[in-house]
Amino acid sequence: MKLIIDAMSGDNAPEAIVSGCVMAAREFGHEYILVGKEHTIRTLLKKEKAGDLPITVQPASDVIDMHDDPAMAVRRKKDASMSVALRLLRDGAGDALISAGNTGALLSGATLVVKRIKGIRRAALPPVMPCRGGHVMLIDAGANAECTPEYLLQFAYMGSFYMQKVMGVASPRVGLVNNGAEDTKGDTLRRETYDLLKQADAEGRIRFVGNVEGSDVPMGACDVAVSDGFTGNVMLKTVEGVATFLMGELKSAFLTNARTKLAYLLVKPAMRRLKSLLSTSEVGGAPFLGICKPVFKAHGSSDARAIRSAVKQAVSFVEADVVGEITRNIDHMTL
């Protein structure tokens, strides 16, 4: 398998990206194409003593940063690392692409250059978050602020395929994020989507468990939480913020005095596990579901370990043939 990695995008690029690629190559094998400023990347590879690893460099002289217009960046900056990486993926030079760059630009580029699966109306950004008893996918988490019932129906299908094929959930439970559990709750979008998901469940195509409130999702009420991108993004950032706040408060509480510091020593292993559960370095990134080839968005602040984790996810995604599964079922996903 060959992975294309945008080496110049992200807060910690290119050092963390190159280091993460080297880490992945040593741990997982496979081949890698690092895209970006050639001299800089080769200098970093030499520093990492990576001369024996299956890593090649594809030159790209420019960079798309967080301030560039997402809709125009890939078109205007033809020789940016992200733009070159997208074209390489489109042309079959690799099996998947990973970038920690501008989310909007990566989504626009994936849609315009790589293209959506025929029949998919919109690609979705679906992070997988920890919850009670396992993990839950939130789809969409920011790619589509305005949605139609058909978009949400397709998100439900794509999320189910991912959780089944990649995360190993035999029969993923699909919940519709709403302001109440009753089937009459929500606005027109939510009510119409509810009917479509209920019909898909009756046909045995997905396992719909009804409406779920925001507080239900972290408690493990479903495996796939379906939402429009605006609501999903607010929910995702709220969860991230609350998690950061609570971890900070716990740390402060344990540092209050000698007695609490002693107590911390007793629970330190459990605290490390909790921190690992919430760490973006362990999560890695999320795919744009609906694109005809695997495009993974790593967190903008990704360190080397996060890039390594993103590679692991991308490999699992390719091996599970999620794109193929969506393509084979497209007739059930369109109205």
Q: Are 162 and 289 in contact (CB under 8 A)?
A: yes
Q: Residue 275: its pLDDT value, please?
A: 67
Q: Among 63-72, 111-120, 204-213, 267-276, which is the least confidently predicted range? A: 267-276
Which pLDDT belongs to residue 325? 96
- What single letter denotes the amino acid at residue 198? K
- 191 class by beta-carbon count within 10 Å (0-12 exposed, 13-18 middle, 19+ buried): middle
Rounded mean pLDDT, 309-322: 95
* pLDDT tier at 272, thresholds 50, 70, 90: confident
Confidence band of 281 (pLDDT split at 50, 70, 90) = low
Predicted confidence at residue 258, as pLDDT, reads 84
pLDDT reading at 299 higher than 70: yes
In which band, very low, low, confident or very high, does the pLDDT at 264 lie, cut at 50, 70 and 90? confident
Lowest mean per-residue pLDDT among 65-79, 110-124, 250-264: 250-264
CA-based end-to-end distance of the chain? 36
Q: Taking residues 256-279, report their average pLDDT.
A: 76
% of the chain with per-residue pLDDT over 70: 97
Within 10 angstroms of residue 72's Cβ, the number of other Cβ atoms is 11
Give percent of the chain with pLDDT exceeding 90: 77
Q: 193-202, 257-266, 303-312 — which is least confidently predicted?
A: 257-266
pLDDT of residue 277: 64
What's the mean pLDDT when you consider all of the chain? 93
Q: What pLDDT, on the 0 to 100 scale, is given for residue 278?
A: 61
The mean pLDDT of 27-50, rounded to a whole number, is 97
Q: Is 18:41 a contact under the CB 8 Å cutoff? A: yes
Report which of 125, 133, 120, 117 is spatially closest to residue 99, judged by C-alpha positions: 125
Q: Check whether 234 has a pLDDT greater than 60.
A: yes
Cβ burial of 60 (10 Å; 0-12, 13-18, 19+) is: buried
Q: Which residue has the higher pLDDT, 242 or 113?
A: 113
Indicate the pTM of the whole model: 0.90
Least confident of 24-38, 173-187, 234-248: 234-248
Per-residue pLDDT band at 175 (split at 50, 70, 90): very high
**CA distance readout (Å), 327 to 144, 200, 214, 324:** 21, 17, 31, 5
Per-position b or e across 234-271, b if 16+ CB within 10 A of its CB: ebbeebeeebeeeeeeeeeebeeeeeeeeebeeeeeee
- Residues 110-160 have pLDDT tens digits of 999 999 999 999 999 999 998 998 999 999 998 999 999 999 999 999 999
pLDDT at 243: 83
pLDDT beyond 80 at 280: no
